[in-house]
Amino acid sequence: MLIMPPTVSVIIPAHNSAKTLGACLEAVRRQRQPVTEVIVVDDASTDDTRAIARRFGCRLLVTGRNAGPAAARNRGIRASTGELLFFLDSDCAPEPDALENALAILRDEPDVACVHGIYALEPLIDDGPVEAYRLLHGHYWRLRNVGRVRTTLFAVCLIRREVFTSVGLFDENLRASEDVELGDRMGDRYGIVLTDTVVCRHDDDSRLGALLRKQFHRSQLLIPVALAERGPAGIRANSPVALVAATLVPATLPLAPLVGGWPAASLLLLALFVVAEPGLLRFVLHRRGPAYAVFFFAVHLLVQLAVVTGAVVGGLRHLADRDFGPTRVTTAKTPR
C-alpha cells in the first residue's frame, strides 16, 4: 500500500524582519523534506519584509496592526492546510535536515505531537560579542534539556495540527511566553520532544541595551504564566540559585561601608553566581576561553538582573490588573 507523505505548512510570523527573512526563506527552500506551502504573516512591518516574502513566492498575510507573535501564528494556522505545521521565527534559518529530522521523530514516536530544536552556536549574521553571549547561553540551556519535555518553544518547531484543534490556539493576550503557555495546555495528552537533531542558525540581539530591555519586558509575563501552569514546571533557561545570587550582588553593596569599604558579601555572591551552574561555566570556558568567560558572565549578570526586575514588575502588574497574563486566568475571574 502506498503511504503518502504528510503535508507540511511552514508558518513564519514576521515583524520588521527584512534583515533576516531572506535567509530564513532560503533555508526553507533548501529543506530536504518537501513542504506544501510557505506562509509569511507580516505583523504590520514598516520595512521591506513584505517585498522579500513576495520575492520568494510565499503566501503573504498582512495584519493591520502589530498584534504580536501569538496573533500572527494563529492567523497562519487558520490559513494553512497542512497536516503538520512547521513554525519558524523570521530570524532563524534551519539546517537542510531540520524538517526531515523532526518528521522522523514524529514518525518513530507516535505519541509525540510536537518536536522543537536548538540554536546553533554559529549566528545567522555575526554581530559581535553580545550576540555570541546570547547564542552560547541559548545553545547551552536547550542542549541541557534535550529529551522529553513539557515546554514548547516555537523558534523552530514541527507540530501536528490536531493539537490546536484539541487545546486551542495561542493565547493572543500574551506577547511573550505564549509558546510556554501552549505547552502547559498540552499537558500529558501530547508528547513533546526537544532535540539537538533539529538545528537552526539564529540572529540574536547584538546590543546590550536592547537585550536588557527585551529581557525586562519579556520576563514580566513569567510569574503570570507560571501561576497559570497546571502541571510541573517546564524548561527553565536560568538556574534559580544563579538568579538569587545575581539579585543579591547589588543588594549587598550598601554593606560595604560596614566592612571598611570592601564589598566582601557582593564579591562572594558574585563568585556563587558564576559557579551556580558549573556546566555552563565549563561550556563557556571550553568554547571561548577565560577572557571571553569574564565578558560572558558580566553580561549574564546584567541579564539576570533584568529578568528578576521584570518578573517582579510583572508580578505586581498581575496583582493590580488580572487582565495582565494568560487569558485562562483572566477569564476565570469572579464576576463583580
What pLDDT score does 262 carry?
Answer: 66
192 in helix, strand or coil? Answer: strand
Least confident of 21-30, 96-105, 243-252, 290-299: 243-252
Q: With b meaning 16 or more CB within 10 Å and e meaning fewer, what string describes 220-254?
A: bbbbbbbebbeeeebbeebbeebbebbbbbeebee
The stretch 10-19 carries a mean pLDDT of: 97
Domain containing 79 equals 8-204
Burial of 258 (0-12, 13-18, 19+ CB in 10 A): exposed
Other beta carbons within 10 Å of 295 = 15
Chain-wide mean pLDDT for the chain?
Answer: 92
In a domain, 273, yes or no: no
DSSP states of 112-146 as a string?
A: EEEEEEEE-SS-SS---HHHHHHHHHHHHHHHHT-
Residue 151 covered by a domain: yes
On whether residue 82 sits in a domain, the answer given is yes
Task: Name, in order, each residue with C-beta under 8 angstroms of 38's C-beta and a sequence gap of 6 or more.
Answer: 9, 10, 12, 25, 28, 56, 58, 59
pLDDT at 92: 97
If one counts every other C-beta atom within 10 angstroms of the C-beta of residue 59, the result is: 16
Q: Is residue 266 part of a domain?
A: no
pLDDT above 60 for 16:
yes
CATH of the domain at 139: 3.90.550.10
143: in domain: yes
Report yes or no: 30 and 20 within 8 Å, Cβ to Cβ. no
Please tell me the least confidently modeled range out of 32-41, 150-159, 184-193.
184-193
Q: Is residue 215 part of a domain?
A: no
DSSP states along 272-292: HHHHSSHHHHHHHHHHHHHHH
Residue 285 falls within a domain, yes or no? no
Q: Is residue 77 in a domain?
A: yes
When comparing pLDDT for 17 and 332, which is higher?
17
Number of domains in the chain: 1
Averaged pLDDT, 11-15: 97
What's the pLDDT band for 5 if we cut at 50, 70, 90? confident
pLDDT at 4 over 90: no
Q: pTM for the complete prediction?
A: 0.91
Asked if pLDDT for residue 2 goes beyond 50, the answer is no
